[in-house]
A and B are shown apart, each in its own frame.
Chain A
């Protein structure tokens, strides 16, 4: 109790503790996502060492991709039941140990087992579902900003950790590189999580956003008594969410997000080759896309706290659709630069918007599993789209039909997102309701 009082007093005079959580989850995402993305760096080394084909090594990557998607609802449910702190700590621990275990793989079959199943499922215990489920509990007014900062960790992780892994491979062997990456997770991310992350502001006697009182809105005619706003579609069981439109609208939009990002990311190199784009130009365009992606993500997250998130989400999809149209309309190099700029603005911005909207609409009780389910749809749709896009290219020898379909899907996703009735369903636009007098001062803001 003394600790709670202490934290309350402190919250008014220093940075809200939630921002320390954001910093910690940023870093957990940074090393977690970054080291996973680095997998592709080691393909040639494994080909030589194991005598395995790229196809065989791809099985590990493919399984890892599917497993990572499928476990998201499971970890989401665990986060709802046990709290994000426990899930994140065990997730990072398992991921760190699994990453180090990859270094001990004697052949491609062990690699498939360790990486495809252990590391990839453990990674699901870190990002995006558990991390985002913790963030939405700490923030409501600044939810978009906080979510985008954590998501930015994944982007920055790819930017730093992938070259880090690539150059480690130059000065050492692949086993050393995986040991170092595992050590970074275990000795940098894990202690930080242990020391700082708490599942809920209530654990420290704090309120969302660092408010003195639970979320309330002045001018409700009864300012002297505490009041709360309730997420209109907050339900006791997660399955009930599927009886309402926003869950379908968000899932549809996010599946298109998965389809379109997967198509470009996977088929980028082959497309660049067919357009006679030089490697140097492609690498520079890639860097530009990364930079714009980071800035776009942070800007969109921040702006989403000031306006209806669904409008931004719809705009993000439409902008990405323009990027795909640019790939069809312009020739090779101009198309690449146009896509880097236009696509960069929208690449990751859908993540914080979708996760924040889910929490705004459905409250906090089941937010973990709901975010996990939406994420699973994203991954599975992306995987299927990649296969179809490859087949289309093999038949027609061009990506134009694929890009045209992607643009069409994105316009559809934009319209679907715009049609979400956020003012009706989001907690942000609800009038406060008086707190029951018997209720303790600190309560969850969605009526949980």
Chain B
């Protein structure tokens, strides 16, 4: 395969950080190695922590919105 065609195909990866493109697999490996080196915790722990971080935000926003609605109802009464 021509090198530039190969480059084009492979280049579908790597467009990270700007809009909604894809992370480069090699870069992910590098980052994962660095996270392992820095944190030293198991993969399960990292999944749980990141899962909790991800879930906490919408729950927090929903709780604040509910509180706002409840206050508005009270004022209405």
A123 to B21, CA, bound (A): 11
Does chain B have a CB within 8 A of A342?
A: no
Are B11 and A267 within 8 A (Cβ)? yes
Q: Which residues of A contact B9 (CB under 8 A)?
A: 54-55, 58-59, 62
From 180 to 234 in chain A, residues with beta carbon under 8 angstroms from any chain B beta carbon are 184, 188-189, 191-192, 195-196
Are A265 and B65 within 8 A (Cβ)? no
A9 to B73, CA, bound (A): 11
Does chain B have a CB within 8 A of A282?
A: yes
Are B31 and A15 within 8 A (Cβ)? no
Q: Which residues of A contact B30 (CB under 8 A)?
A: 279-280, 282-283, 286
Picked from B6, B8, B54, B62, the residue with its CB within 8 Å of the CB of A386 is B8
Are A167 and B18 within 8 A (Cβ)? no
Q: Which residues of B contact A293 (CB under 8 A)?
A: 17
Closest CB of chain B to A173's CB: distance in Å? 13
A439 to B33, CA, bound (A): 62
A65 to B10, CA, bound (A): 13
Picked from A15, A24, A161, A393, the residue with its CB within 8 Å of the CB of B68 is A15
Does chain A have a CB within 8 A of B51?
A: yes
Closest CB of chain A to B63's CB: distance in Å? 11
Which residue of chain B has the shortest Cβ distance to A382 in the bound complex? B15
Are B55 and A171 within 8 A (Cβ)? no
Closest CB of chain A to B57's CB: distance in Å? 5
A181 to B21, CA, bound (A): 16
Interface residues of B (CB under 8 A from A): 1, 3-4, 6-35, 37, 43-44, 46-47, 50-51, 53-55, 57-58, 61-62, 64-65, 68, 71-73, 75-76
Interface residues of A (CB under 8 A from B): 2, 6-7, 9-10, 14-15, 17, 20, 23-24, 26-27, 30-33, 36-41, 43-44, 54-55, 58-59, 61-62, 65, 68, 123, 127-128, 154-155, 158, 160-164, 166-168, 170-171, 184, 188-189, 191-192, 195-196, 261-262, 265-269, 279-280, 282-284, 286-287, 289-290, 293, 347-348, 351, 375, 378-379, 382, 386-387, 390-391, 393-394
